[in-house]
Amino acid sequence: MDDQGPTRLRRDAERNRQRVLTAARRLFSETGLAVSHDEVARAAGVGVGTVYRRFPRKEDLLLALFEDQVEQVVQLAETAGARADPWRGLTTFLEAMLQMQAEDRGLHEYLLGPQAASLAVRATERISPVVGDLLSRAKELGQVRADVEVADVALVPVLVGAVLDRARGVAPDQWRRVLALVMDGFRPGADGSLPGQPLDPGQLEQVFTHWKGRPA
């Protein structure tokens, strides 16, 4: 009985944390990063002090949301990796990841900020092994050209994300067409090999660092 009080307090604190994150995710996805702690507190139905105690800076709140999002992307990758058809797994994974980016304006803006490189590296470390396995199986079945590497797949969100960002207010689903065109380039059958070499981890990090868009 003695530990019921502390246990209840821990449960209440975790429940409030989840309410804050849920409210912040909705607000950031709808309006971008211009959301205050006061607005998050009102949307979550908690005192603003609760928000500040758990997330003193907006950066802390965004980082928690990003980490949750990374877990979702990892789950998407693992689900894709379990598909019998690796090509379908690869394409549905990329489509689902870009759909998340399209729906969450705040996350998209956050990933375009100065912290993009370190965040991208953290996410890539978790996701690359699953994507690498998908790619290997797709190559074995002749679904993907032999010279495509994981680093090439990692660039797809950069390429398509640029279109997503710029076409958001004009043709919000245009990114789907561009994704289909990009994925066709992964298919075998073209004459010759891909020019150059895939980016190494350091180069990929630099690309993510300079991935700057113009949020609508």
Q: What is the pLDDT of residues 119-143, one digit of tens each?
A: 667 777 878 888 999 999 999 999 9
pLDDT exceeds cutoff 70 at 106: no
Higher per-residue confidence, 85 vs 72: 85
CA angle 71, 137, 91 (to 5 degrees): 55
- For the chain, the straight-line distance linking the first and the last C-alpha, in angstroms and rounded, comes to 54
Q: What is the pLDDT of residue 94?
A: 94
Mean pLDDT of 27-41: 85
pLDDT tens digit string along 133-179? 999 999 999 999 999 999 999 899 889 988 988 888 889 999 999 99
Q: Which two tokens stand for residue 100?
A: 């998340």
Q: What is the pLDDT of residue 201?
A: 80
Q: What is the pLDDT of residue 213?
A: 43
| Res. 180 pLDDT band, cuts 50 70 90 | very high
> Quick one: how far is CA 152 from the chain centroid?
16
Q: Rounded to whole angstroms, what are the CA distances from 160 to 21, 52, 97, 182, 191? A: 28, 36, 11, 8, 24
Tell me which range, 18-22, 109-113, 199-203, is most confidently predicted by mean pLDDT: 18-22
Q: Which two tokens stand for residue 174?
A: 């245009």
Tell me the domain boundaries of the chain.
1-56, 58-209
Task: Please give the DSSP secondary-structure letter assigned to residue 198.
Answer: P
Q: Are the C-beta atoms of 172 and 102 separated by less than 8 Å? A: yes
- The CATH T-level fold of domain 58-209 is Tetracycline Repressor; domain 2 (1.10.357)
If you write DSSP's letter for every residue of 50-94 in order, what string do you get? HHHHH-SSHHHHHHHHHHHHHHHHHHHHHHHHT-SSHHHHHHHHH
The structure tokens 């070499």 sit at: 197
CATH C-level class of 1-56: mainly alpha
Mean pLDDT of 94-107: 82
Q: Are the C-beta atoms of 188 and 142 separated by less than 8 Å? A: yes
